[in-house]
Structure 1
């Protein structure tokens, strides 16, 4: 799989959920360029892979329809033969009822979530997100015989670049929120700039020290609390490791942060911010 194939498949899964909805919502794209660092690696070696995440708000419909749209997305995906990641039971009375599902056999993960805006009126906002499996970037893919489509170009960012400073500032705040030590930089981690047809983004990826399972889960929860208190848009997403990860979007910058437990025992963090944007990283 390459980047364009991953994006196309993610978009297909989104439209499988949306195209039959009534009332029909408008898709409003969330986040920066979809390609990002793979943060939930499934082995103990270097990880130079990337993954694609495509997310949309469902707009243009009354707020009281938000939960109904999430139910319709679930039903449409079930008709495609996709499976729940858990029991399939959803607490529809919670603040953020969420459906977690995955495709087969290509193993794309998706969620449909509604956040309550006015509990008294039952009004909210709905969103859909699809995340691809991790795959090698174009240079590595070519070595394995694949032909990349619309390849992204990776390069080292300038340390004086505003986007670099912004990414590092957000990482510093996340580090403070996690309240655990960081590990030495591993192969495939650190700063990079990615350029593709949708623009340029700066990525900063790093890991904590290995933690017991309970402490990993607690650290991810502290990150989620930080993002919510700072006004970020937050989604919980399932991971192969078991502990739900967190994907958060900054309200003013189009910066996206991901925090997820890894099978290595660490918590992996990735911050992606557009190469052009505000000079500060106020959160």
Structure 2
């Protein structure tokens, strides 16, 4: 097994879960002629529910795998929140690699997860299965009662032999923790940010964000005072996180803008994939393995494109000039 391939699969899984779960969720606002759900829960309730959904998939599996947690701390910022959502909303993401089983069993475990979730009353999203005919399928589902989203996928370990490593993950809806602010906020694009000159990670995040903005070729949403740049600290270390949004776009405009961004990311050496979302327009998630930076682009319920770039604070200061 090649560690770099496994790490890439795990990181992209965690990114996919965040984008898929929050790309089309709101906070009781009107969108597309229907009222989006008002989510009320606390962090522990969200974690417990996510773990329950994981256990629904795993408990009946044969062979029985060992669960290995991947990704950062379970509670994080709501990445692709809608324009009218409160800025302090968070969400829970739980992801596991299923280890201790032969690589030939990965596809079988994904199928068993799918069957167990269907038996529990959960449903597919609009793009429920990807590449099921091949050895490395992905399954995208959601809970009907409380709108948790889950993925099961077989990441590639040895393509020639058809061997993989199955992964499962669950992400909660975005919710407001106790004491959180309900003031709506839209993050600034990178060009409007101010930053200390001695912050290489921040400069790197803004550099990537600026190049994505250039590739999209659409106008940013009007931004109030304050910034979309933040520092995130968890058990995996410290990262700099930059978010912003475009003006609302039609579906056709969104597809064209995402195609331009994907073309740029691939030409710059990023690992890119599409992820189904609640909005119906697949999101773009990307990983730059050289420095561990991730990028997410997802359409919100208002039509705005949400962009999020996260980079570790230990990467080389020169990377932002190379994008």
User: TM-score range with shorter-chain normalisation?
Assistant: 0.7 to 0.9
Give 1:257 shift. 2.6
Q: Map of 1:242-253 to 2, 5 A cutoff? A: 242-251=280-289, 253=291
In the alignment, which residue of structure 2 is the partner of 1:153? none
Q: How many pairs were matched up?
A: 269
In the alignment, which residue of structure 2 is the partner of 1:74? 114
Q: 1:113 to 1:15 in 2, by over 3 A?
A: same
Q: Map of 1:28-107 to 2, 5 A cutoff? A: 28-42=68-82, 44=84, 47-86=87-126, 88=128, 90-93=130-133, 97-107=137-147
Q: 1:179 to 1:109 in 2, by over 3 A?
A: same
Give 1:247 shift. 3.5
- The answer on 1:217 being equivalent to 2:217 is no
| Local SS of the residue matching 2:98 | strand
CA shift digits 1:167-207 (9 cap, x unpaired): 22332343344343433335786112244576544321101
Is the Cα contact below 8 Å between 1:33 and 1:200 reproduced in 2? no
Give 1:138 shift. 4.1
Q: TM-score, normalised by structure 1?
A: 0.76
| Unmatched segments (≥5 aa) in structure 1 | 144-155
- The answer on 1:266 being equivalent to 2:280 is no
* 2:201 counterpart (163, 188, 191): 163
In the alignment, which residue of structure 1 is the partner of 2:169? 129
Question: Structure 2 CA distance, aligned partners of 1:131 and 1:30?
Answer: 13
Is the Cα contact below 8 Å between 1:30 and 1:56 reproduced in 2? yes
- The answer on 1:18 being equivalent to 2:58 is yes
Give the alignment's Cα RMSD to 1 decimal: 3.4
Q: Which moved more, 1:12-21 or 1:77-86?
A: 12-21
Question: Structure 1 CA distance, aligned partners of 2:284 and 2:135?
Answer: 16
- The answer on 1:277 being equivalent to 2:317 is no
Q: Which moved more, 1:264-273 or 1:38-47?
A: 38-47
CA shift digits 1:120-153 (9 cap, x unpaired): 4222333222221111244327x9xxxxxxxxxx
Q: 1:28 to 1:184 in 2, by over 3 A?
A: farther
Give 1:216 shift. 0.9
Q: 1:256 to 1:90 in 2, by over 3 A?
A: closer
Give 1:244 shift. 2.1
Q: 1:227 to 1:45 in 2, by over 3 A?
A: same
In the alignment, which residue of structure 1 is the partner of 2:231? 193
| Unmatched segments (≥5 aa) in structure 2 | 1-40, 183-193
Is the Cα contact below 8 Å between 2:107 and 2:154 reproduced in 1? yes
